[in-house]
Chains A and B, each alone.
Chain A
Amino acid sequence: ETGVTQTPRHLVMGMTNKKSLKCEQHLGHNAMYWYKQSAKKPLELMFVYSLEERVENNSVPSRFSPECPNSSHLFLHLHTLQPEDSALYLCASSQGQADFYGYTFGSGTRLTVV
């Protein structure tokens, strides 16, 4: 494992369901991220949390709601999703500003909206 654990690995949900994705990092990092990965598109940054405070929301639809209760845990709450939201959702963590060395990613949650 990479030190960043995501659950579940796969999720199929209907458009009226509510579900949550979970991410946990064991690296002592102080920033966590949600990315969306769709086929043949660049990784899209959704949310950034630094020291448990959300610092950016890149115009993500309100049907996606993040939660960061502490520096080790990150959730993505999902409700009334659309089929185009089907994608791989990746969590990542990083450390520092002066010593930023990129992200450590989890293995992702493959989400299918039916």
Chain B
Amino acid sequence: QQQVKQSPQSLIVQKGGIPIINCAYENTAFDYFPWYQQFPGKGPALLIAIRPDVSEKKEGRFTISFNKSAKQFSLHIMDSQPGDSATYFCAASIGSARQLTFGSGTQLTVLP
């Protein structure tokens, strides 16, 4: 009930490509869905987040698409760059509980 399933585990794209990372959840009480980006030797950093009252959110080259009925959300990275190579984690929380449940992570490699 508390799981967040993330795919793929790893992803390799060419510079300029549009990698897409997908997450699915079961608990309909989740009301906050962030994505975190983690570089080697660093802690995860908040990238972008969405609440279930909207279906899409864009911040720069990063877009979250949210499908409430399917209980799925995804991260799209437009015009990907080698500097975007990192591990990406989706997460979900019930706001009042303030506890994030994380996906297993996707290691993204953007080739020059």
Known A-B contacts A43-B89, A105-B44; A100 and B95 likewise in contact (beta carbons under 8 Å): yes
Q: Which single residue of chain B is at the shortest CB-CB distance from A101?
A: B49
Q: Given A100-B93, A106-B43, A107-B43, A48–B103 Cβ distance below 8 Å?
A: no
- A43 and B32: CB pair below 8 A? no
Q: How far is the CB of A5 from chain B (nearest CB, A)?
A: 11
- Given the contacts A31-B98, A40-B104, A56-B99, A100 and B43 also touching, CB distance less than 8 Å: no
Q: Please count how many residues in chain B sit with their CB below 8 Å of the partner chain's CB atoms.
A: 25
Q: A42-B103, A43-B102 are contacts. A103–B46 as well, Cβ < 8 Å?
A: yes
Is A59's beta carbon under 8 Å from chain B? no
A45-B103 Cα distance, complex, nearest whole Å: 12
User: Which residues of A60-114 have CB atoms within 8 Å of chain B's CB atoms?
Assistant: 90, 92, 94, 96-98, 100-108
Interface size on A, residues (CB 8 A): 28
Nearest Cβ in chain B — how far from A52, in angstroms? 15
Within 8 A of A (CB), among B48-66: 49
Listed A/B pairs (26) with beta-carbon separation below 8 Å: A33-B99, A40-B9, A42-B4, A43-B44, A43-B100, A43-B102, A45-B100, A48-B98, A48-B99, A90-B43, A96-B98, A97-B98, A100-B32, A100-B96, A100-B98, A101-B46, A101-B49, A102-B34, A102-B46, A102-B91, A102-B93, A103-B44, A103-B46, A105-B36, A105-B45, A107-B43
**Chain A residues in the interface with B (C-beta under 8 A):** 2, 4, 6, 31, 33, 40-43, 45, 48, 50, 56, 90, 92, 94, 96-98, 100-108
